[in-house]
Amino acid sequence: MSESGTQTTPNVADSSGTGNAGVTEATSITTVTAHFKLVFLCVTVITVLTLLASLYIGIFIEKPTEAAKSAMDTCSTLANLGFGAMVGLLGGKAVQ
């Protein structure tokens, strides 16, 4: 499971007339592997399912018991953690 790093472009003279001739610009290319897609998809599905379960309990259960309240809180916490995991995965991929 190898991932390619960044690639740089060769020196290109600037023809825009701004006086930046000879300045190199590094272009970063981020590759998304099948493994990353699988992990991100699994985290997204779990996050959406726990969010929906929390919303279902909160909306459709008229008189929730302590167990239902606890389940709703747990699902809400898992949805928050899943959102943080998605942001972390995307941030880590962008930095890489």
Q: What is the reported pLDDT for 30?
A: 78
Which helix (H) or strand (E) segment is 34 a member of? helix 34-60
Are 93 and 32 in contact by the 8 Å Cβ rule? The answer is yes
CA distance 59 to 66: 16
The pLDDT assigned to 88 comes to: 94
Residues 5, 31 contacting (CB under 8 angstroms): no
Question: Would you state the pLDDT for residue 1?
Answer: 52
What is the pLDDT at residue 93? Answer: 87
Contact (Cβ atoms closer than 8 angstroms) between residue 12 and residue 22: no
pTM here is: 0.66
Ranges under pLDDT 50 in the chain? none
pLDDT the model gives residue 21: 58
